[in-house]
Chain A
Amino acid sequence: MSGYAGLLAALVLAPLLPGVINRTKSFFAGRRGPPLLQPYFDLAKLLRKGAVYSTTTTWLFRAGPVVGLAAMLVAAALAPFGGVSAPLAFAGDFLFFAGLLGVARFATMLAALDTGSSFEGMGASREAQFAALAEPAFLLGLTAVAWKTGGLSLSGMLGANSFATWSGAAAPLALVCVSLLVVFLAENARIPVDDPNTHLELTMIHEVMVLDHGGPDLALIQYAAALKLWVLGSLVVGIALPVRSLAHGWAFAASVAGMLGLCVIVGVVESCLARLRLTRVPQLLLGAGVLSLLALFIGLK
């Protein structure tokens, strides 16, 4: 029952996260910044608009946002939240989770290539490269948690994660946290991998892939991106905060607070760091992979 509360929270609260990040960045820049609920206003506005399609595009371009959002919705049903199991939890679900992220990415890249634009081709090319390097870090990191906690599902892993687990295996769990945080930043197109606020098509990754989408399509994309921020973030928070030790209501509240805290961290990172050069990003992602591997080696008997 309460597994659905987590899913509902994801569906409702996800667009809040980019708002929090933006407010944090405004605070650091000394601006007032957009309202916290601005992403909701954007979605509502986009959903009321018409659309313009490039004459080059086919059904694949229109399918991209749809498939991307559907995959994220199913992924949200796999991610546990607030110390209770997810609605669709099962042994090995983190592999399905990675698969769904892959489907969403595949659809987005094809939609980008469908426009025939060089800019979108560049975005897709970068996305393919970084995702290929982020995937091992992600899967190995979660495997390390699985070996430490003895759980084979995301809910089992994070559900078994308590203060006792942390005191017993602080080093590997901390390594996984850092590694997953890097994956989280890379997959969600945040600094230091991608700059969501850049205004030059040549330097974008995620934003440039969706340049030609508008109206309801763009709304689907932005909502899916917010959901992705939520589900990947909930994994990082779930590992970092062993909320199982708390009572249900408190665990839920602590997890929501953790998500908002994570967004503040992202905002701080974006305010203090410059984006890495594109040729440096693989090093960062390989570094995350190495951290995951290290966590696994510590877990080996």
Chain B
Amino acid sequence: MTILLVALGLLVAGGAAALLCRRSHRAANLIGAGSAAAACALGLVPAVTGLVGGGARLESAWSVPGGSLALAIDPLSAFFLVPLFGLCGLAAVYGAGYLSAAPGGRSPGPPWFHFSWLVAGMVVVVTARNAVLFLVAWEVMSLASYFLVTRDDEREDVREAGWTYLVATHFGNACLIALFALLGPRSLDFADFGPASHAGLLFVLALIGFGTKAGFMPLHVWLPEAHPAAPSHVSAVMSGVMIKMGIYGLLRTLTWLGPPPLWWGGLLIAAGAASGVVAVMFALAQRDLKRVLAYSSVENTSIIALGLGVGLVGLHAGTPGVAVLGLAGALLHVWTHALGKGLLFLGAGAVLHATGTRDLDRLGGLARRMPLTSATFLVGAAAIAGLPPLSGFFSEFLILYGAVQHAGLHSLAAMVALALMSGLAAAVFVRAFGGAFLGVARDDGVRGAHDPGAAMRVPMAILAPALLALGLSTPVLLPALAPVVEQIGGLPARRELDAATAPLAVVVLGSTIFLALVALIAGLRRSLLAGRTVGAAATWDCGYAHPAPRMQYTASSFAQPLTALFGPVLRTRLTGDAPRGLFPAAAAFATRTPDVVREAALRPLFDLVSGALHAMHRLQHGRLHLYVISIALTLVVLLLWRLS
């Protein structure tokens, strides 16, 4: 616990020091990144010991009503702390390179301050054992990330993104305050929360409140706006771990609410299925690389929701095998997505840094110019697309394997959704990787691109092998998750997890054979070609002599058959001038796919609210003496009411 407190202190102090160091940008950058990375390395120690069984607790009285200042590390907390510290530490190292090269000569002090506070806020969220402390940390986390999202606030789209994020996150917070108020009328300490009479209402409040942070559709609207706007290492942290705080909150709430009725699992599966399938469709239709990744994050939290849903359904049905597999798959996917999406956002940052654009239809051919970025991005893409032998396959395997063993409508819905999502996710990532890294550059600005400096390269080079290692070590890792699963499900999980390691071990064996065969066939191919003529020529183009880069199939064209198929959901807008006449002068064509929830539901709703509230505008007349009078009058009325 002491080490955790030291890490927290280092984060808070280091962030403040970076903020105060206004003179030298270099020093601010070094202090901010160094303290954050060091704190995360320190924090990994209690996190890992907590996961293997060494819990810790700190409790002291404070003057805030409703309980004590309580922090603790139990298996569930430790499970979330490990990727939190791991990814944030790597993101800090990456950020040192990213922010030092930022144009405009702005001080990196404020972003480091907000970054450190964001990490500290998340650490306290995961370890807090008191509702007030939890909510304060939650707010620190939300505000710090808000300031990071709006760093480039001279751009209108960034201001809009920040505003959307602020509104969405406080909508979620309102539900959370209601949740905790209902949970603990007597005490706000987590230890005193227990099965309540209105558990259903509490579950829905938690699903909405935490689901807003986790990005379940239709509460996801902030996510595709905020993630692209933030600096890339912050996007990685937000997508990799911050949205997982919503999952953590949901899991923590489940430990208080008692045995789940069937409809909780059903609701999670319905929400996960709808949200995941629609999100992956939107990911296909985006041109902005970071927006693709943001929608894919919505899809992946939906996979976690599906796993949880299968787990809850299994709990209700009294089939511990299904319950444990669903929960373990969901948990494993938390780690997979933290590492994988963290890596992908770092890669997208390197692309943005090198080319100045995130538009997939302008990029291309980067695999030659950025070998390390492209190789690591490919690993991340394959992992998030759920391909063996990377870890994404193993988490989806566990969820599907659990669902197959439960012959019922709920598990059937989960399977349909997962099967559809995995095929579409593969299309999303082939398109994203192909658009950015393969073929030839489509734009002049892309031609001079190169891999970034060492500070940005090292975190990517660590995360990519980690995804393979996490996948291949799943059979070993899985039994270690037993305490976490037991805490959530309230059932002994060790035996079921041990049973599940047997098929996973064969998957690992098969994957190893696969990797060995790849090496073997590659060697065979090389020896066959040795000593023969190996020529070089232009790509086959039906005899056309001068293929130009702009004639390549773009990412938009790649997705067109699918986006056309899903047209009724996506509502892609086409604009442009078709060529006219025998000698057309100029022609243009553009597509845009704005978020359907934002455009069709929320914008009209907010217009309505703002119209209704317009009447209140008359009170904001700016005459100070009238304000003072109204305050005084209110006070007098309250006084009279209290006295009577």
Query: Is A220 an interface residue, CB under 8 A from the partner?
Result: yes
Q: Are B367 and A114 in contact (CB under 8 A)?
A: yes
Q: Are B430 and A74 in contact (CB under 8 A)?
A: no
- Which one of B40-48, B165-173, B296-304, B517-525 contacts A? B517-525
Q: Are B404 and A143 in contact (CB under 8 A)?
A: yes
Nearest B residue to A73 by beta-carbon distance?
A: B517
Q: What's the least CB distance linking B393 to chain A, in Å?
A: 5
Chain B residues positioned under 8 Å from A122 (CB to CB): 553, 557
Q: Are A220 and B525 in contact (CB under 8 A)?
A: yes
Chain A residues positioned under 8 Å from B513 (CB to CB): 74, 77
Query: Is A90 an interface residue, CB under 8 A from the partner?
Result: yes
Binary interface encoding of chain B residues 491-511 relative to chain A, with 1 for a CB under 8 A from any of its CBs, else 0: 000000000001100110110
Q: What's the least CB distance linking B518 to chain A, in Å?
A: 4
Which of B393, B426, B529, B549 is packed against the most chain A CB atoms within 10 Å? B426
Q: Are B557 and A121 in contact (CB under 8 A)?
A: yes
CA distance A128 to B434 in the complex (A): 12
Nearest B residue to A51 by beta-carbon distance?
A: B534
Q: Are A117 and B438 in contact (CB under 8 A)?
A: no
Other-chain residue from B420, B509, B541 in contact with A132 (beta carbon distance below 8 A): B420
Q: Are B438 and A55 in contact (CB under 8 A)?
A: no
Other-chain residue from A93, A99, A114, A126 in contact with B503 (beta carbon distance below 8 A): A93
Q: Are A50 and B404 in contact (CB under 8 A)?
A: no
A:134-176 near B, CB below 8 Å: 134-136, 138-140, 143, 146-147, 152
Nearest B residue to A128 by beta-carbon distance?
A: B427
Q: Are B558 and A121 in contact (CB under 8 A)?
A: yes
CA distance A50 to B529 in the complex (A): 6
Other-chain residue from A55, A65, A129 in contact with B565 (beta carbon distance below 8 A): A129
CA distance A74 to B515 in the complex (A): 10
Q: Are A143 and B541 in contact (CB under 8 A)?
A: no
Given A128-B558, A133-B423, residue A58 in contact with residue B434 (CB < 8 A)? no
Q: Are B535 and A50 in contact (CB under 8 A)?
A: yes
Query: Is A254 an interface residue, CB under 8 A from the partner?
Result: no
Q: Are A95 and B401 in contact (CB under 8 A)?
A: yes
Nearest B residue to A99 by beta-carbon distance?
A: B388
Q: Are A152 and B553 in contact (CB under 8 A)?
A: no
Q: Are A216 and B528 in contact (CB under 8 A)?
A: yes
Given A92-B503, A99-B393, residue A56 in contact with residue B439 (CB < 8 A)? yes
Q: Are B536 and A52 in contact (CB under 8 A)?
A: yes
Other-chain residue from B367, B387, B419, B426 in contact with A139 (beta carbon distance below 8 A): B419
CA distance A118 to B439 in the complex (A): 10
Query: Is A193 an interface residue, CB under 8 A from the partner?
Result: no
Binary interface encoding of chain A residues 216-244 relative to chain B, with 1 for a CB under 8 A from any of its CBs, else 0: 11001000000000000000000000000
Other-chain residue from B387, B416, B520, B561 in contact with A106 (beta carbon distance below 8 A): B387
Q: What's the least CB distance linking B427 to chain A, in Å?
A: 4
Query: Is A54 an interface residue, CB under 8 A from the partner?
Result: yes
Chain A residues positioned under 8 Å from B340 (CB to CB): none
Q: How many of chain A's residues touch chain B, expressed as a range? A: 35 or more
CA distance A113 to B555 in the complex (A): 10
Query: Is B422 an interface residue, CB under 8 A from the partner?
Result: yes
Chain A residues positioned under 8 Å from B434 (CB to CB): 109-110, 113-114, 121, 124
A:51-92 near B, CB below 8 Å: 51-58, 60, 62-63, 65-67, 69-71, 73-74, 77-78, 88, 90-92
Query: Is A102 an interface residue, CB under 8 A from the partner?
Result: yes
CA distance A54 to B534 in the complex (A): 11
CA distance A258 to B594 in the complex (A): 51
Given A91-B502, A133-B423, residue A301 in contact with residue B407 (CB < 8 A)? yes
Q: Are A132 and B539 in contact (CB under 8 A)?
A: no
B:527-545 near A, CB below 8 Å: 528-529, 532-542
Given A53-B534, A113-B434, A132-B420, residue A60 in contact with residue B542 (CB < 8 A)? no
Nearest B residue to A301 by beta-carbon distance?
A: B407
CA distance A63 to B557 in the complex (A): 24
Query: Is B174 an interface residue, CB under 8 A from the partner?
Result: no
Chain A residues positioned under 8 Å from B540 (CB to CB): 54, 115, 117, 119, 211-212
Query: Is B440 an interface residue, CB under 8 A from the partner?
Result: yes
Query: Is B312 an interface residue, CB under 8 A from the partner?
Result: no
Q: Are A113 and B430 in contact (CB under 8 A)?
A: yes
Q: Are B529 and A92 in contact (CB under 8 A)?
A: no
Q: What's the least CB distance linking B556 to chain A, in Å?
A: 10
Nearest A residue to B439 by beta-carbon distance?
A: A116
Query: Is B365 an interface residue, CB under 8 A from the partner?
Result: yes
Nearest A residue to B375 by beta-carbon distance?
A: A59
Q: What's the least CB distance linking B39 to chain A, in Å?
A: 38
Q: What's the least CB distance linking B281 to chain A, in Å?
A: 10
Q: What's the least CB distance linking A88 to chain B, in Å?
A: 6
Nearest B residue to A113 by beta-carbon distance?
A: B434
Chain A residues positioned under 8 Å from B489 (CB to CB): none
Q: Are A131 and B426 in contact (CB under 8 A)?
A: yes
Query: Is A201 an interface residue, CB under 8 A from the partner?
Result: yes
Chain A residues positioned under 8 Å from B529 (CB to CB): 50-51, 215-216
Query: Is B397 an interface residue, CB under 8 A from the partner?
Result: yes
CA distance A71 to B382 in the complex (A): 14
Chain A residues positioned under 8 Å from B541 (CB to CB): 117, 119
- Which one of A23-31, A34-42, A263-271, A292-300 contacts B? A292-300
Query: Is A203 an interface residue, CB under 8 A from the partner?
Result: no
CA distance A262 to B542 in the complex (A): 35
Nearest A residue to B280 by beta-carbon distance?
A: A132
Chain B residues positioned under 8 Å from A90 (CB to CB): 502-503, 506-507
Which of A65, A70, A73 is packed against the most chain B CB atoms within 10 Å? A70
CA distance A58 to B407 in the complex (A): 46
Query: Is A96 an interface residue, CB under 8 A from the partner?
Result: yes
Q: What's the least CB distance linking A65 to chain B, in Å?
A: 8
Q: Are A106 and B506 in contact (CB under 8 A)?
A: no
Chain B residues positioned under 8 Å from A278 (CB to CB): 561
CA distance A201 to B420 in the complex (A): 28
Q: Are A146 and B404 in contact (CB under 8 A)?
A: yes
Query: Is A103 an interface residue, CB under 8 A from the partner?
Result: yes
A-B contact pairs, 6 of them (CB 8 A): A56-B539, A58-B368, A73-B517, A121-B434, A122-B557, A132-B423
What 9 A-B pairs come out closest when comparing CB atoms? A121-B553, A132-B423, A116-B439, A113-B434, A50-B532, A128-B427, A70-B517, A90-B506, A136-B419
Residues of chain B touching chain A, judged by Cβ–Cβ distance below 8 Å, are 364-365, 367-368, 378, 382, 385-388, 393, 397, 400-401, 404-405, 407-409, 412, 415-416, 419-420, 422-424, 426-427, 430-431, 433-434, 438-440, 502-503, 506-507, 509-510, 513-515, 517-518, 520-522, 525, 528-529, 532-542, 547, 549, 551-553, 557-562, 565
